[in-house]
């Protein structure tokens, strides 16, 4: 574990991939290395990019990485796939488009499957962001693959959230409906050359609340990520948002929210793991019995709690007559 950290500090290119693999499967040596590295973290601009499928998220991430390299910033990209319980296959296909970036030693690309047992992002995603941060990448781009409810959890991992839209999605109504605009620190209308792009930007601007003095004013930016047009302005907005977070003191709040979510999710995941182990195979039957009115809900709750190792019986004998 000390070896791994020494290799990371020496810039050995194999150290970070190895650390991430160990952390992803919660290997004790990896978790110990992460614990030792954790005090170094909290400095990177962690940017979540989310939005509707087809809006061009991957292309924008790619273009943002190019813009960062043009500004001589090192950049790490973490592709998070909330639909898959294992990493690899599906996500790697997308990443082939990023092969031009693979050749650049200043760019690090990795994917992670993040289907949490209890919903939300799996602990692996948060832990891997800490590793990239500790490895000294000043800019970490998080891309969710797929859309829906899972995307919304990205606001817990990221310090800055970019929501990408493109014309042809019902003029923004779908985006409003999906509830993802609220989490955006920066809104991007991609495919700016398509008809309706300017109207979509207007609709999005109209849906934003006016900021109070000192609050962040969410910019709505037009890009053509495929050609790179407008992308440097998005990178500028990211860096400006980072400065606003620091100056306003909002960064402390975001780090606290992230820490709280990570710790409490970790506790819940572990309790759920023990609960699943204790009720394996029997939960479906218990629920069916309650639904069919054969077992009262309270009895089912007590039976499940009684089956948890070490918690047995604590709540099961409270009923009087």
Binding site for its own copies (CB under 8 A): 1, 28-29, 31-32, 34-35, 38-42, 123, 126-127, 130, 173, 176-177, 179, 252, 255-256, 258-260, 262-263, 266-267, 270-271, 274-275, 286-288, 290-294, 296-301, 304-305, 309-312, 314-315, 318-321
Closer Cβ to its own copies, 30 or 230, answer by number: 30
> If we measure between CA atoms, which residue out of 107, 175, 111, 120 comes closest to residue 150?
120
Q: How far is the CB of 90 from its own copies (least distance, A)?
A: 27
Q: How far is the CB of 105 from its own copies (least distance, A)?
A: 28
* Residues 221/247, Cβ–Cβ less than 8 Å: no
Closer Cβ to its own copies, 14 or 319, answer by number: 319
Closer Cβ to its own copies, 240 or 316, answer by number: 316
Closer Cβ to its own copies, 38 or 216, answer by number: 38
Q: Other CB atoms closer than 10 Å to residue 40's CB: what's the count? A: 12
> If we measure between CA atoms, which residue out of 100, 1, 70, 111 comes closest to residue 234?
70
Name the token pair of 107.
């760019």
Closer Cβ to its own copies, 120 or 230, answer by number: 120
Q: How far is the CB of 223 from its own copies (least distance, A)?
A: 25
Closer Cβ to its own copies, 38 or 244, answer by number: 38
Closer Cβ to its own copies, 224 or 265, answer by number: 265
> If we measure between CA atoms, which residue out of 241, 235, 209 comes closest to residue 221?
235
Angle between helices 2-9 and 15-24 (to 10 degrees): 140
Q: Measured between alpha carbons, how far is residue 10 from residues 3, 22, 185, 187, 242 in Å?
A: 10, 19, 36, 38, 28
Give strand pairing partners of 110: 78
Q: How far is the CB of 179 from its own copies (least distance, A)?
A: 6
Q: How far is the CB of 226 from its own copies (least distance, A)?
A: 30
In angstroms, the CA 254 to CA 55 distance is 27
Q: How far is the CB of 254 from its own copies (least distance, A)?
A: 9
Q: Measured between alpha carbons, how far is residue 24 from residues 115, 155, 167, 195, 251 in Å?
A: 12, 20, 37, 43, 26
Q: How far is the CB of 35 from its own copies (least distance, A)?
A: 4
* Residues 59/163, Cβ–Cβ less than 8 Å: no
In angstroms, the CA 136 to CA 9 distance is 9
């Amino acid at each position: 574990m000390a070896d791994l950290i020494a290799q990371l500090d020496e810039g050995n290119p194999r150290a970070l991939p190895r650390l991430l693999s160990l952390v992803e499967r919660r290997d004790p040596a990896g978790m110990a290395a992460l614990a030792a590295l954790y005090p170094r973290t909290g400095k990177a601009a962690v940017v979540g990019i989310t939005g509707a499928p087809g809006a061009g998220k991957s292309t924008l991430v790619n273009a943002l990485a190019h813009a960062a390299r043009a500004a001589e910033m090192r950049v790490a990209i973490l592709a998070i796939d909330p639909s898959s319980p294992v990493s690899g296959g599906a996500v790697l296909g997308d990443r082939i488009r990023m092969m031009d970036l693979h050749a650049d030693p200043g760019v690090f690309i990795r994917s992670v499957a993040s289907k949490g047992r209890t919903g939300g992002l799996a602990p692996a995603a948060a832990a891997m962001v800490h590793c990239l941060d500790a490895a000294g990448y000043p800019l970490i781009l998080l891309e969710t693959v797929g859309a829906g409810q899972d995307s919304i959890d990205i606001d817990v991992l990221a310090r800055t959230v970019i929501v990408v839209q493109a014309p042809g999605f019902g003029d923004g109504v779908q985006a409003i409906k999906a509830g993802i605009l609220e989490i955006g620190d920066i809104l991007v209308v991609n495919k700016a050359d398509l008809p309706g792009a300017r109207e979509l930007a207007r609709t999005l601007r109209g849906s934003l609340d006016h900021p109070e003095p000192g609050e962040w004013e969410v910019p709505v930016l037009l890009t053509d990520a495929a050609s790179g047009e407008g992308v440097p302005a998005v990178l500028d907005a990211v860096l400006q948002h980072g400065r606003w977070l620091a100056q306003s003191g909002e960064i402390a709040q975001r780090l606290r929210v992230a820490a709280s979510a990570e710790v409490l999710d970790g506790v819940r995941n572990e309790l759920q793991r023990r609960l699943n182990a204790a009720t394996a195979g029997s939960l479906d039957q218990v629920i069916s019995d309650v639904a069919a009115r054969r077992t009262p809900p309270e009895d089912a709750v007590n039976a499940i709690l009684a089956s948890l190792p070490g918690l047995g019986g604590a709540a099961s004998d409270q009923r009087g007559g």
